[in-house]
Structure 1
Amino acid sequence: MSAESFDVKAHPVIDTHCHLDFDDFAPERDQVIERARDAGLVRMVTICTRVRKFDRIKAVAETYEDVFCSVGTHPGNAGEETDVTTAEIIELSRHPKCVAIGEAGLDFFYPDNAPREVQLDVFRANIDASRQTGLPLVIHSRAADEDMAATLEDEMGKGAFPFILHCFSAGQELADVGVRLGGYVSFSGIVTFGKSDELRTIARTIPHERLLIETDAPYLAPPPKRGKRNEPSYVVNTARILGETIGLSEPEIRDLTTENAYRLFTRMPRAA
């Protein structure tokens, strides 16, 4: 089914992960939001990467009725926020537009990132905040499959918490562990790339009720915008390819992932 053959407003979409506070959007944030609405997006979650910059995150969420946010420390910034406590994250998460904790996790891809033990400590503080608040934890994992799986297994034994493996690009084993532990798996524009056959194979193994879509904008624009700045409206291109991958029409994948997002982000109200 082509994009022209259905009413996009009748099949709304949610971008579960973008970074609207980034300077990339500053010159035309209003227009970016309008293009997203025109594409059928009814909710966007702008994701925090530094607790110390939560003020600018929440300012974006407060400006737009359909934008929500998270609070947490990205593993690439873990070394800067070792003094951030679970209690502080929980307190900031009380903001009415905050619907998630994170993004937090492990990133061993870049050698200049904080040492592994530092990343783990910060990650565990974010996990604890998710566990105590019940807000879903947005997990960043890169080049850390074994450590991530082991950490999730260990932490889940201390008490359950909802989570998303965001911008999934890892292997089948981590996907399996995530699903077994009750997590969701979110696919970005990476799943649309020509060389992502293995990732599309993994996508076919994820239970439909655990699938989410995202842009991770301004990064990872899907075709035909690949190589350019990504923005929330482009999530519909990712939805289309993911739907084709798992055997769903575009309206079906939009409906499915939107319902999944509402079920996971329990604090985020449904669009009227």
Structure 2
Amino acid sequence: MIDSHVHLDDPRFKENRDQIIQNFDRDGLELVVNIGADLESSRASVDLARKYDKVYAAVGIHPHDASSYSPEVEKELIDLAQDEKVLAIGEIGLDYYYDNSPRDIQKEVFEKQLDLAHRLGLPIVIHTREASKDTFDRIKAHMEKHPQDKVLIHCFSESLEMMREYVKLGCYIALGGAVTFKNARVPKEVALEVPLDRLLLETDCPYLTPEPLRGKRNEPAYVRHVGDFIANLRKINLDDLLDQTARNAKAFYGIQA
């Protein structure tokens, strides 16, 4: 299994982070990608990747922190991205649910980081919430200019129609614990239809713990519950699904293994 999106640098893992990572073999995890959301977590992601063979990193500024973006921040992201275990720029995008940064600044910083990822030749991990059209329009414009760039929509929560449009652009779709929630009708529709060669699995741990463990702190090993749920939904073999989504994660992130 590959967990394509984790936040193991989160303080909630302080007490047993090392043990969780040391248990990857036992839990059937080939590797995880720890995702940055601001400069501090981007640094921490790179530190974790340097320390552990099975942890890789992405660096970027989440829309919540778009107001913190500056030439100095961008320079440090570029420096961090030189590490061989940094696989992507992310998570970046737009979030109109919380509006922690003004929307015009979010849009500007999103564009800058899309351009940065292209300049660095790195895939792009997208966060979007309550900003469906603006996010899609920017990704579409970017992909029309740079069709070879790779884009992953993390924790996909858009409509079935929007998933189809993203797939037409060549984007990848990541599904996590939310698809297992009882009232998650649209994510289930997406899970049924998304092409298997475009699907990645994730936990977004410590957030969005899947059923039947909802209420607990999420962990990378719980990605199996996401895979099991989708395999049952699609009436396919779990091992086949886990193998395919692992291949997809390697293809997206450019992992040679």
Give the TM-score category using the shorter length. Answer: over 0.9
2:256 & 2:195 partners in 1: Cα distance? 24
Q: What number of residue pairs does the alignment pair up?
A: 256
* TM-score, normalisation: structure 2: 0.94
The equivalent residue for 1:153 is 140
The equivalent residue for 2:244 is 256
Q: Deviations over 1:197-236 (max 9, x none)?
A: 2211122221110000000000011122101110100000
Higher relative contact order (CA 8 A, sep 6+): 1
CA contact (8 A) 1:103 1:138 kept: yes
Q: Deviations over 1:35-70 (max 9, x none)?
A: 333121011000001135432221111111100001
Give SS of 2:16's match: helix
The equivalent residue for 2:198 is 210
Identity among equivalent pairs (%):
36
* TM-score, normalisation: structure 1: 0.89
- Paired residues for 1:36-75 under 5 Å: 36-75=24-63
Give SS of 1:164's match: strand
CA contact (8 A) 1:146 1:174 kept: no
2:43 & 2:74 partners in 1: Cα distance? 17
Instruction: Letter of the 1:128 partner, please give it.
Output: D
Instruction: Letter of the 1:105 partner, please give it.
Output: G
1:156 & 1:269 partners in 2: Cα distance? 24
Structure 1: runs of 5 or more not aligned: 1-12
Q: Deviations over 1:131-188 (max 9, x none)?
A: 1222210000111111111111122233232110001111123212211111100001
Instruction: Determine which of 177, 186, 190 is the counterpart of 2:174.
Output: 186
Taking structure 1 as reference, are residues 182 and 214 closer, same or farther at Cα in structure 2, changes over 3 Å only?
same
The equivalent residue for 1:170 is 158
Instruction: Determine which of 119, 133, 142 is the counterpart of 2:106.
Output: 119
2:162 & 2:63 partners in 1: Cα distance? 18
Task: After superposing the two structures, state which structure 1 stretch, 150-159 or 182-191, moved more.
Answer: 150-159
Q: Deviations over 1:222-268 (max 9, x none)?
A: 122101110100000001001122232111111110011111111x3
Taking structure 1 as reference, are residues 135 and 44 closer, same or farther at Cα in structure 2, changes over 3 Å only?
same
